[in-house]
Amino acid sequence: MPPRVNTEKCDGCRAQDETLCVLICPGDLMALDTGSGKAYCRSERDCWDCMSCVKSCPHGAIETRLPYQLGYYPAKLIPLVGSNKISWTVVDIHGKVERFTFKTRNDD
Amino acid sequence: MKVTLLEKAHIDRSGCLAGGMDAINTYIKPNESAESLVRWSRAQAGGILREDLTLSMAALLNQAVEEWETWGLPVKKDEDEEYLARGRWDITIRGSEMKVILAEKVREYGCEVLNRVVATNYLLGGDRVTGAMGFGVRDGKFYVVRAGATIIATGGAAGLYKPYTNDGVDSHHQLWYSPFNVGTGYAVGIRAGAEMTSFEMRWCAVRTKDFNGPIDTISVGYKTPMINAKGEKILSEHYAHLGGDAAPRYIRANAPMEEWLAGRGPVYVDTRHMKPEQVKDLKTDYLNERPSFVLFLAARGQDVTEEPIEVYGSDPYIVGGHTMSGYWVDRSRATTLPGLFACGDVCGGVPNKFVGGCAAEGLLAARGAVSYLSSPEERDQVDDGQIKAEVERVFAALLRQAREGDGVTPREMEERMQRLMDEYAGGVHQFYRMNRERLEYAQKHLSILKEQTKYLIARDLHELMEAHEVIDRLDVAEVLVHHLLFRQETRWPGWQNRVDFPGVDEKLDCFVNSRRDTGTGEVQVFTRPYEQIVPGDRTKP
Amino acid sequence: METNLAVDRLCFDDLRLLYPVITEIAGNCNQCGRCAAACLAPLDGSGPAGVLRLLQLSLVREALEERLLWACIGCRRCSDNCPKGLDVQLVLLRLRRLAPCRPERWLPAGLARWLNLAK
Amino acid sequence: MPAGIGVYLCRCDGRINEVIDLEGLRSKIGKWKGVSEVRVLTALCRPGDLASVVEDIQAGRVDRLVIGACSPAVHQESFERLAAEDLAPNLLERCNLREQCALAHPGDPAGATTQALALLKMGVARLKAAPGPVIPETTTGNRRVLVVGGGIAGLAAAGNLARGGVEVTVVEKRAWLGGRVAQLHRYYPRGCAPRCGLAVQTERLLQSGRVSVHTLAEVAGVHGTAGNFQVNIRQHPRFIGQECTGCGRCEAVCPVVTDTSRGLPAWRKAVLSPAGSVYPLAYAIDRQACLGPACGKCAAVCPAGAVCMEEDEQSFSVNVSAIVMATGSALYDVAAVENYGYGRLPGVLTSMDLEFLASPDGPTGGRLMRPADERPARRVAFIQCAGSRDCKHLPYCSAICCAVTLKQTRYVRDAYPDAEVTVFYMDMRVTGHLEEMYRQAMDEGTVFIRGNPLAVVRAADTGDLEVVAADSLSGRRVLVGADLVVLAAGLVPEHIADSYHLAKDGAGFVPGHLPCSPTEGRRAGIFAAGTAQGPMDASGAVQSGLAASAECLALLDQGPALVLPLLDKTKCDGCKRCVEECPYGAITLDRDGYPLPSATGCRSCGICQGGCPLRCIHLPGFSTREMAARLAAPAVGGEEVRVIAFLCGNDAYRALDGTVYPVNVLPVAVSCAGAVNMGWINDALLNGWDGVIVAGCRADECHYGHGPDLADSRVAKLQETLRSVMVEAERVQVLTCGIGEGGSLAAALENFVRRLTEMGPSPFKEC
């Protein structure tokens, strides 16, 4: 189940041949549905939950969900990606919110 | 000089650093030395490693990291601007963008990058490697890259064994190591007749239960002891004679299994003493390496200061950056195939090199390759025969789908292989245990599977890639089983556990190497002696 | 009669309440006069456009007294030929409803009270 | 001491320093790393003070410039020019201390000073992160222009370009230049025959020697961008060669007669005469109508042996820097207005038919007669708006028909002084001096009936035409008998292929961005002219042709181009999004698949920068590093609400000048709301800013087409993400603001700050 594409927000990177998630996925698991012009995961079972697609999506249209047999609903982990910082917001199944913001790059 | 990089995925996020990296675990601090590193690593590896290679790597360890920092990689510092120590050899980094930062440099230096091109075999001129062949996962083209020198750096092999989470539709790839690293680097070497070493030294590790996440982050970083269901500190209470908390990694890997067998499972790392700010740091570390572990804790609704994190053994991997399986090389990282150099997880003989060591080895291999280029060599022509043959081999699964429309899907064959290895070659469901008969059974069925690969079908290029992933894994698995059979002793209990030979056999205090005959295709296994350079008791750090 | 007075009191805005469709159409007519030319009613005069013009000027009472309201034979040629695609004839039919002397009979009670038409 | 950033603070003769403590700022800024000079001067824009800046630069003390003075909307001639000449445009940072600090917060010196400090911090930080000098590229395009359409607009454009020293290629799809105008009997206001006017235009063209004219030719395809268009042209055969002397024997012997109009009797031969037009004075053969070599009469009589039936279609291509689209328009097919019986009732004509009928080259040699029985046409009725201002046909007014009809009443009068001329109209729309024609027509006794006729019918008894109408002024029904009924048909544009990527209106005209750039079709380097833009008369067409030619000349001679977007190839993955987003189609891909902005095509709108998901394409001064530095510069921790406002430099930013707005807001001028990259907003939030404003022009006022809409949709998605991470989505907002609406913008900011204060500090602050 891992990558969940929000088809409302996904614009298939303007339906170019290779969206950013398709471009980046280490497992070649993301693909572009040429019909709808939206991205989707071709084989959720093979996802490693590395969240590269989540970080790469310019619209924050992708969310990683753990397989239910490993973790319960509705936990969320959502990044906000800056040029040299990233902020992760994690919401656990009891609704507890934690936020982590840190540098990802030294600005030289 | 023109450098061409073949990458199966995209260099920004490929391989086991896709999620990022939170630490450099081999940084030589002022009070340490190359020699002390060798002593420590040697003890961790049960007394066997290539000291010459380790020393040459150690010389470059710090240089790599320090250069990365100037490229923009954040490294945690203490108040007097020194790298903040985490463990004896560890420093903390904020590496969630690590590969992206490196990739930018690769492009900046004008390296030609061929993303989404799967390497399938070397290009051979006589016995020399003169480049590589592969196919494009996007364009379906067949690529032939001719090179004066070739460096193999494709990482280790995951997915040889069945992971214990593989019982639900969506958790097939709950692995510690990147499931997209399938040992292609080993496989192409095996097929070309390169000499390989120490495959029997598998990498099995204590990992967080179910999620299979790294725990050095916790255990090294925050001094959290491993405890069993009875609350006993396992290492200090049951393994004091082997060094307690400092016991070699294979002992630590074995410990949870022993606890379970002894009925004292489950096993945890005890995080309950951690302070809130420590927990915050801990999660931040994970967010830099495997962000989804933080999601896992949230999905379990787990507060680690109240509930310890359960741990268990991972499925076994072949990964030369942690253990020492891989190509048999010299100091310049030249393999036994002229023109071919190896570094990182595919390069054998140097355990515990981790990210920093892999980078250092990258530099060594590059230097080796450059000096090889400058040495006058006759450049023999590539015969188109092998290219033609490879084209047929590479696209066979697609053609079969088109012509026959029926056969074996890569996924089916992968699952068969993984269960076979798990149950008969000491997988996690068997507590890593194995014996001769089971290994021979595995051997028999592996050869059937290899025979069956001709029935593989692929409906698209992605499945074609999967087909070659299983083909490559089978080649690695075959050699692995030969090695496991050969070492008739139990040298590394967690990693290589022969229940039919429980003790250590001094005669086998050496390297077990192998080479597949390119003609007959049969694997010859032999030994190579140990050469000690750094004096001292090899089992003591 | 007070009801006549009541009708006298009706202005364009009251019409908007009663029959938005009327004011909508009247508001959009640009008096091109084609409907007048199309009209089969046996009358001279500026035809439906003339009635709409009166409404535009908020001369509701005058509009209600137009003979065309009753001369209209419902041929719909005004509507069919309107270059702005307005259903002109509908205005005539609706105005017919307003014209009789006892609007409280067909007005919604509340509205009648609001317009203080009812006793 | 090495060169560094020079910070120059202007008192503006007291207007600034009476509110802002410049000396205090000076001492603070002096301590900043990278700043080599800080000065407070009385009036920077005056030569004396300005000279001292130049001096510092030339002495090597200063290599980057922060001007803390008036709004960048003024005194560009002082500061921007100085930077361009002595440094580079991207090394100048203007901090708006006058309009947006001192004048904005006269009552709050402390606040104003803090804000000024923050603005200067951001400026300095930006310059520190800036790369070396970026010198604007200069135009590389050739001096060749293609004019599509040889009508009067195209001729005007081509002639002017040729006189401006430009190589011009004219492509005309008909056999002769002159277009619609060449078919007119006379044209207004002078009432002269168009031939002389066309002659003048054509003279200018041909004398220049820089024009190649291709008749019977059309554009098959356009590739490339402004400065470098590759245009493929299809050349149809004429079947009569240059040898033709225009003697006309061929036409005389041609047995085929074709009808060219449903309103007139057939009179055209298969051999087409150049009559009326001026160039080339050669005949052509209409192969559809022609009987072919089998007949061959024309070839037989031609003394010059110019007839050649075996010509084939050819094609060639030209390379030009700009294109003028003067493709013209056609008459609306009034047969669709069935009531009026065009094509069904003989004697019902279009205004164009009447031109033919009145012309000596026409079917009757210029005699106005009833087509049916050739009796003189003394009674002529004109019906205006035949299908115009009609939701079933043409919703719009074609602007010229009223004047045309007035002109044509003269044709009738000239033929028959005693003629009965009636004009049915809805509104007579003749503006300016044309009113004179209206007055004249009335003097001459033309009857004007205000009423849109219902129908044209044939009288049962006489069989004459009758117009059924009502005079809406008198309320009388009218039935007007007529020998000829002339329908004033509206104009519809000739089809312009979508491959041009021009912004068309509902009807298919290319109206341009009014009023600022009337000839611009939103594809840089392609300019519309004449009735391709919308209905207009000959005078208007000439004017717009000249306007288009002026645009071309400006484009060819612009010298230093507007600053082009820069590309960070180490980040770019060739996703092509910028190519998609560019409103001017000015970005193509180079050989390696990297975006390549065209120096002549780019308008520096920065919309590519706003859309780039990897933030690797950007205008100078807006690189990821520069923006990150800018956003990290001021301390935004603590309780104090801080807002960063990205304001469109065309409208919103200027509008804010001099208004009173909250000191918590720090404005940053950007090229367009569509140029704001969502990554910047992420950076702002991650740096602890409490709120972010993106303000652009009101939709449809955007100079770059759809910037505000882009900002809207992008921000909407970001807000969605904020909701999902439990952060108030209202912290990021898009505002629209016209140039004159500074007050309401300030008010909106006021509200925004109040709202944020209620919300409390940004959740990202504490991390």
Side chain identity, residue D322: A
Domain boundaries, chain D: 1-134, 144-329+529-555, 330-492, 635-767
Return d(Cα D648, Cα C117) in angstroms, integer: 57
Query: A106, B298: Cβ pair inside 8 Å?
Result: no
Q: What single-letter DSSP state applies at residue D362?
A: S
Say yes or no: A45 contacts chain D, CB-CB below 8 A: no
Q: How far is D425 from chain C (nearest CA, A)?
A: 8
Say yes or no: A70 contacts chain D, CB-CB below 8 A: no
User: Which chain D residue's Cα is nearest to C40?
Assistant: D477
Q: What is the pLDDT of residue D515?
A: 84
Q: How far is D234 from chain C (nearest CA, A)?
A: 41
Q: Tell me whether chains C and D touch (3+ CB pairs under 8 A).
A: yes
Taking any CB pair shorter than 8 Å as contact, residues of chain B touching chain D are 104-105, 107-108
Q: Judge whether B283 and B294 are in contact, CB under 8 Å.
A: yes
User: What is chain B's percent helix, strand, coil content, to nearest 5?
Assistant: 40, 15, 45
Average pLDDT over residues B13-25: 92
**Window D:391-410, CB contacts with C under 8 Å:** 391-393
Return d(Cα C107, Cα D7) in angstroms, integer: 77
Domain boundaries, chain C: 2-114
Q: What is the pLDDT of residue D638?
A: 73
Q: What is the pLDDT of residue B80?
A: 84
**Considering chain A, what percentage of its residues have pLDDT values greater than 90?**
72
Q: What is the pLDDT of residue C105?
A: 53
Average pLDDT over residues B212-225: 81
Say yes or no: A85 contacts chain D, CB-CB below 8 A: yes
Say yes or no: D468 contacts chain C, CB-CB below 8 A: yes
User: Which chain B residue's Cα is nearest to A74?
Assistant: B299
CA C54 distance to own-chain centroid: 9
Q: What is the pLDDT of residue C100?
A: 61
Q: What is the three-class DSSP state of D375?
A: coil
Return d(Cα B539, Cα B47) in angstroms, integer: 5
Classify domain D330-492 by CATH number: 3.50.50.60
Whether the domain at D144-329+529-555 and the domain at D635-767 fall into the same CATH topology: yes
Domain boundaries, chain A: 1-68, 72-108
Quick count: other Cβ atoms within 10 Å of Cβ B385?
8
Is residue A88 part of the annotated active site? The answer reads no
Contact residues on chain A for B459, CB-CB shorter than 8 A = none
Return d(Cα D153, Cα D176) in angstroms, integer: 14
User: Which parts of chain D have pLDDT scores under 50?
Assistant: 560
Which CATH number do you get for residue B290?
3.90.700.10
Classify domain C2-114 by CATH number: 1.10.1060
Query: D628, A82: Cβ pair inside 8 Å?
Result: yes
Say yes or no: B81 contacts chain A, CB-CB below 8 A: no
Topology at the third CATH level for domain D144-329+529-555: Rossmann fold (3.40.50)
Whether residue B383 is contained in a domain is answered as no
Contact residues on chain B for D593, CB-CB shorter than 8 A = none
Q: Domain range for residue B300?
A: 206-313
Q: What is the pLDDT of residues A98-108, one digit of tens each?
A: 999 999 998 75
Identify from B108, B114, B284 which residue to disrupt to test chain D contact, counting D C-beta atoms within 10 A and taking the largest count.
B108
Tokens read off for C33: 């006069």
Beta bridge partners of D388: D394
Q: Which residues of D412-423 are buried (b: 16+ CB within 10 A; e: fewer)?
A: bbebbeebbbbb
Quick count: other Cβ atoms within 10 Å of Cβ D517?
15
Contact residues on chain D for B104, CB-CB shorter than 8 A = 570-571
Q: Judge whether C66 and C36 are in contact, CB under 8 Å.
A: no
Q: Judge whether A2 and A63 are in contact, CB under 8 Å.
A: no
Name the active-site residue from A6, A9, A17, A48.
A48
Contact residues on chain B for D569, CB-CB shorter than 8 A = 107
Q: Is the pLDDT of residue C114 over 70?
A: no
End-to-end CA distance of chain B: 43
Between A45, A93, A105, which is nearest B170 by CB?
A: A45
**Window B:193-222, CB contacts with A under 8 Å:** 210-211
CATH 3.30.70.20 fits A1-68, yes or no: yes
Quick count: other Cβ atoms within 10 Å of Cβ D314?
11
Q: How far is D352 from chain A (nearest CA, A)?
A: 47
- What pLDDT band is residue B168 in, cutting at 50, 70 and 90? low
Q: What is the pLDDT of residue D140?
A: 61
User: Which chain D residue's Cα is nearest to C38?
Assistant: D454
D144-148/D92-96 β-pairing? unpaired
Q: What is the pLDDT of residue A108?
A: 59
Residue D81 phi, psi dihedral angles, 5° rounding: -65, -45
Q: How far is CA D418 from CA B76, B109, D351, in A?
A: 102, 90, 21
Quick count: other Cβ atoms within 10 Å of Cβ B109?
9
Integer Rg of chain C from CA: 14
Who contacts B464 (Cβ-Cβ below 8 Å, separation ≥6)? B135, B137, B394, B395, B397, B398, B458
**Window B:441-480, CB contacts with A under 8 Å:** 462, 465
Between C30, C34, C45, which is nearest D475 by CB?
A: C45
Q: What is the pLDDT of residues B57-86, one digit of tens each?
A: 999 999 989 999 999 999 998 888 888 888
Whether residue B373 is contained in a domain is answered as no
Contact residues on chain B for A75, CB-CB shorter than 8 A = 295, 298-299, 301
Residue with tokens 């309009």: D99
Q: Judge whether B418 and B470 are in contact, CB under 8 Å.
A: no
Identify from D567, D571, D572, D726 which residue to disrupt to test chain B contact, counting B C-beta atoms within 10 A and taking the largest count.
D571
Q: What is the pLDDT of residues D508-517, one digit of tens each?
A: 999 988 888 8
Q: Give the pTM.
A: 0.77
User: Which chain D residue's Cα is nearest to A18?
Assistant: D575
Q: How many domains does chain B have?
A: 1
Return d(Cα B60, Cα B34) in angstroms, integer: 10
- Residue (of D583, D525, D579, D531) closest to D552 by Cα position: D525
Q: What single-letter DSSP state applies at residue B399?
A: H
Beta bridge partners of D4: D62
Q: Is the pLDDT of residue B539 over 60?
A: yes
Return d(Cα D554, Cα D517) in angstroms, integer: 13
Q: Judge whether B353 and B22 are in contact, CB under 8 Å.
A: no
Instruction: Count C/D contacts: CB-CB distance under 8 Å.
Output: 65
Residue D105 phi, psi dihedral angles, 5° rounding: -130, 55
Handedness of CA D506, D508, D511, D512 (dihedral sign): positive
End-to-end CA distance of chain C: 12
Predicted complex ipTM exceeds 0.85: no
CATH 1.10.10 fits D1-134, yes or no: no
Q: How far is A10 from chain B (nearest CA, A)?
A: 21
- What pLDDT band is residue B523 in, cutting at 50, 70 and 90? very high
Say yes or no: A74 contacts chain D, CB-CB below 8 A: no
Tokens read off for B320: 């030369």
Q: Is the pLDDT of residue B437 over 50?
A: yes
Identify from A8, A20, A59, A65 which residue to disrupt to test chain D contact, counting D C-beta atoms within 10 A and taking the largest count.
A59
Whether residue B7 is contained in a domain is answered as no
Which string of DSSP letters, residue by residue, matches B374-386?
HS----PPPPHHH
Identify from D630, D686, D718 which residue to disrupt to test chain A contact, counting A C-beta atoms within 10 A and taking the largest count.
D686
What contacts 24+ positions apart, CB below 8 Å, involve C108-117? C111/C17, C111/C18, C115/C6, C115/C9, C115/C10, C115/C14, C116/C6, C117/C3, C117/C6
Query: A28, B19: Cβ pair inside 8 Å?
Result: no
Side chain identity, residue D269: K
User: Which chain D residue's Cα is nearest to A81?
Assistant: D682
Integer Rg of chain D from CA: 33
Contact residues on chain A for D685, CB-CB shorter than 8 A = 80, 82, 87
User: Which chain B residue's Cα is nearest to A73?
Assistant: B299
Which of the other chains make 3 or more beta carbon contacts under 8 angstroms with chain D?
A, B, C
Q: What is the pLDDT of residue C2?
A: 43
Q: What is the pLDDT of residue D339?
A: 93
Beta bridge partners of D618: D566
Q: Is the pLDDT of residue B469 over 60?
A: yes
Side chain identity, residue D314: Q
- Residue (of B532, B529, B485, B538) closest to B507 by Cα position: B529
Q: Tell me whether chains C and A touch (3+ CB pairs under 8 A).
A: no
Return d(Cα A26, Cα B175) in angstroms, integer: 14
Q: Judge whether B196 and B190 are in contact, CB under 8 Å.
A: yes
Tokens read off for B391: 């084209």
CA D280 distance to own-chain centroid: 32
What contacts 24+ positions apart, CB below 8 Å, involve B77-82? none
Quick count: other Cβ atoms within 10 Å of Cβ B397?
28
Tokens read off for B422: 């798990």
Beta bridge partners of D450: D425
Strand order in the sheet with D665-670: D665-670, D643-648, D691-696, D732-736
Between D625, D724, D764, which is nearest A78 by CB?
A: D724
Q: How far is D292 from chain B (nearest CA, A)?
A: 53
- CATH architecture classification, D635-767: 3-Layer(aba) Sandwich (3.40)
Taking any CB pair shorter than 8 Å as contact, residues of chain D touching chain B are 569-571
Quick count: other Cβ atoms within 10 Å of Cβ D229?
26
Which of the other chains make 3 or more beta carbon contacts under 8 angstroms with chain C?
D
Q: Which residues of D445-484 are buried (b: 16+ CB within 10 A; e: fewer)?
A: ebebbbbbbbbbbbeeeeeebbbbbbbbeebebbebebbb
Contact residues on chain D for B108, CB-CB shorter than 8 A = 570
Which of the other chains make 3 or more beta carbon contacts under 8 angstroms with chain B?
A, D
Contact residues on chain A for D627, CB-CB shorter than 8 A = 83
Query: B299, A93: Cβ pair inside 8 Å?
Result: yes
Q: What is the three-class DSSP state of D450?
A: strand
Q: What is the pLDDT of residue B219?
A: 74
Query: B104, D569: Cβ pair inside 8 Å?
Result: no
CA D377 distance to own-chain centroid: 45
**Helix (H), strand (E), coil (C) string for D515-527:** CCECCECCCCCEE
Q: How far is B157 from chain A (nearest CA, A)?
A: 14
Contact residues on chain A for D679, CB-CB shorter than 8 A = 81-83
Whether residue B291 is contained in a domain is answered as yes
